[in-house]
Chain A
Amino acid sequence: MATEDTLPGAKLRERVNSWVDKNIYAVLLMAFVVLLWMFYSEFINTRGDLYFPSVEFVITQSMANQELLISSLQQTMTETLIGWVIGMTLGIILGTAFSEVSFIKHTFFPTVIFWQSLPMAVLAPMFVVWFGTGLHAVALFAGISSFWVVMISTITGFGTIDKEFDHLGTVFGATYAQQMRRIRVWAALPHIFTGLKVGAQQAIVGAIVAEFVASGSGIGYIVKTSVSKVQPGLMFSSLILIMVFALIFYKGVEFSLDYLSPGPSLE
């Protein structure tokens, strides 16, 4: 007897249903916000579209500038991605070197503390001096922003490994290389992956701050200039694009890292 479970498409239906159950609240909230926005623009807003744009105004103004929006978004996406990859590579390499090589750790500890607690945004003009106002400066600043988070997470990851793992390595007679490769890297990996995820967010923040400073192009620049040119429709749509991009980027990184994570946790 064919039940619902055995009908074709049952598995897909089940996945859709579980997605809907998890996210229905968020979807309803978004729909509610859009309805509130339309209600506000229609009935409450007395100062018109140039003060607070209605939904149609946002759509029409964005359509009119769509090449600009799309090319700026592409540029920011490239910069963020390059920056995150640079930050990830440098952060993991230097973080590992810092936590494993005792000389580096003790010599540069105050330096790392100093650089970690200073406000990153204030360094953005420096990058413009060094690399001009193009894509390079923004990508490198995004790289520096994400580098710090990744490095600190790597250091924390290697620093909070249980002593039992070191004892296990000693008992098995593992050489240093074997200990690193087979035990320590895997024990530190959860922290490093968390750092990579936060690093992705910081890369976006770095890209946007650098675009505020380097008066050139990119979606952060669009946000800034659309305010001074009084184009609130463009401002809103660029904000929405940034939000969507940040969400997709973070979810993409999270999904790939979860896919790459080894199965059950080492605890």
Chain B
Amino acid sequence: MSSQARNTWLPSSVLGIRLSKRKRRLLQGILGSVGIVVFWELASGEPLHLVTELMLPPPSLIYENYMKNQTLLHRHLWSTMSTAGIGWIIAVTGGTLMALLLSHSERMEDTLMPIMISGNSIPRVTLAPVFLFYIGGFSAKYIISAWVAFFPMFINAFDGVEDISPEQKSLLESFGASRLQEYRYVRIMNAIPFIFDGMKIAVTMSVVGAVVGEFVGASEGVGFIALQSLRVYNIGLMFSVIALASFVTVFAFFIVFKIQDMMIYWKETSLLS
């Protein structure tokens, strides 16, 4: 693929400039996403009417709906996102602490790992109604969100803390490193990329937990609005709340990714988790 020699790519010949390969790829990606949105707008909205507005409203209608109901949507969005945020904090700190605890010794791992595995053996969202029943309305949603996000975070953090090679272990032993030094200098540094990966997944999972908690029983939040607008067949509102929640979550995911990218200079951060 001779990229630098001939610039026969349509957009650059249209714009009349020469772009580097990386910029071309980026532009291609952006054009692709914009193209999908444009196609969606045309297919669902005025010109083509491939799908009726009741099935899949065009982006313009979704935006219009968002603008109309901004205060309502923002109030419920804040409720869900604060739940997810607190759940995320609990899951990340809990997962990291449990990973550190389990990595302490072989015996700790043998004792506590079965509990972790059995906690994860049932699909985590299934326990949402159970938590609602036993813990009660107000704090149950935080617990559900933390529960759904906890296990992937723990697994990632544990993999990270355990990722030291036998050579590193021998080096530490020959230097006479104490347990604390072993953790501080080797294990935790090694685990940081894994912990960040876990945090990214935990962002998505905590929102999933918050939303599912609202599906099974809540009086406010994104999930509640989605279900209510579904019941009264206000499809425009439903799509706008779904789109809003999705955008905010992807934005939060991207922020964690950016922090990881900036902090970790020794390993490349990939966007595909």
| A contact set with B: CB distance below 8 Å | 25-26, 29, 106-114, 116-126, 128-130, 152, 155-156, 201, 204-205, 208-209, 212-213, 220, 223-224, 226-228, 232, 235, 239, 242-243, 246-247
Given A128-B230, A227-B132, verify A121-B121 contact (CB < 8 Å).
no
Chain B residues positioned under 8 Å from A223 (CB to CB): 126, 129-130
B207 to A239, Cβ gap below 8 A? Answer: no
B245 to A119, Cβ gap below 8 A? Answer: yes
Chain A residues positioned under 8 Å from B245 (CB to CB): 119, 122
A106 to B33, Cβ gap below 8 A? Answer: no
B235 (CB) vs chain A CBs: closest residue: A129
Is B137 interfacial (CB-CB < 8 Å)? Answer: no
Stretch of B66-74, B165-173, B188-196, B211-219 lying at the A interface: B211-219
Chain A residues positioned under 8 Å from B31 (CB to CB): 107
Once the chains are docked, how many angstroms separate the CA of A125 from the CA of B236?
12
Known: A126-B238, A208-B123. 20 other contacts (CB 8 A): A106-B28, A107-B28, A108-B32, A109-B29, A109-B32, A110-B29, A112-B272, A116-B272, A122-B222, A122-B223, A125-B226, A129-B230, A155-B272, A201-B123, A205-B124, A209-B212, A212-B216, A227-B130, A227-B216, A242-B126
Given A114-B33, A125-B230, verify A106-B272 contact (CB < 8 Å).
no
B212 to A212, Cβ gap below 8 A? Answer: yes
Chain B residues positioned under 8 Å from A120 (CB to CB): 208
Chain A residues positioned under 8 Å from B118 (CB to CB): 29
B215 to A212, Cβ gap below 8 A? Answer: yes
Across the interface, B123 reaches (CB within 8 A) one of A106, A156, A205, A226, namely A205
Once the chains are docked, how many angstroms separate the CA of A125 from the CA of B254?
25
The contact string, 1 if C-beta is below 8 Å from chain A, for chain B 12-33, is 0000000000000100111111
Q: How many residues of B contact A (CB 8 A)?
A: 55
A29 (CB) vs chain B CBs: closest residue: B114
Chain A residues positioned under 8 Å from B55 (CB to CB): 129-130
B122 to A239, Cβ gap below 8 A? Answer: yes
Chain A residues positioned under 8 Å from B253 (CB to CB): 117
Chain A residues positioned under 8 Å from B273 (CB to CB): 116-117, 152
Once the chains are docked, how many angstroms separate the CA of A267 from the CA of B271?
26
The contact string, 1 if C-beta is below 8 Å from chain A, for chain B 117-158, is 010011111111110110000000000000000000000000
Given A119-B207, A223-B126, verify A213-B272 contact (CB < 8 Å).
no
A123 (CB) vs chain B CBs: closest residue: B242
B211 to A122, Cβ gap below 8 A? Answer: yes
A122 to B246, Cβ gap below 8 A? Answer: yes
Given A26-B114, A239-B130, verify A119-B204 contact (CB < 8 Å).
yes
Once the chains are docked, how many angstroms separate the CA of A124 from the CA of B31?
28
A126 to B215, Cβ gap below 8 A? Answer: no
Chain B residues positioned under 8 Å from A205 (CB to CB): 123-125
Once the chains are docked, how many angstroms separate the CA of A132 from the CA of B88?
33
A104 (CB) vs chain B CBs: closest residue: B32
B242 to A204, Cβ gap below 8 A? Answer: no
Is B249 interfacial (CB-CB < 8 Å)? Answer: yes
A204 (CB) vs chain B CBs: closest residue: B123
- Can you list 30 pairs linking A and B with CB atoms under 8 Å apart? A106-B29, A107-B28, A107-B32, A112-B272, A114-B33, A117-B204, A117-B249, A119-B211, A119-B246, A121-B211, A122-B208, A122-B222, A122-B223, A124-B215, A125-B227, A129-B230, A152-B273, A204-B123, A205-B124, A205-B125, A208-B123, A212-B216, A213-B230, A224-B129, A226-B129, A227-B216, A228-B217, A235-B133, A246-B123, A247-B121
Chain B residues positioned under 8 Å from A209 (CB to CB): 125, 212, 215
Given A120-B208, A125-B227, A156-B272, verify A235-B32 contact (CB < 8 Å).
no
Given A125-B230, A204-B123, verify A119-B32 contact (CB < 8 Å).
no
Which residues B182-212 have CB closer than 8 A to chain A? 200, 203-205, 207-208, 211-212
A118 to B29, Cβ gap below 8 A? Answer: no
Max chain A C-beta neighbours (<10 A), residue from B35, B123, B246: B123
Once the chains are docked, how many angstroms separate the CA of A112 from the CA of B29?
10
A118 (CB) vs chain B CBs: closest residue: B246
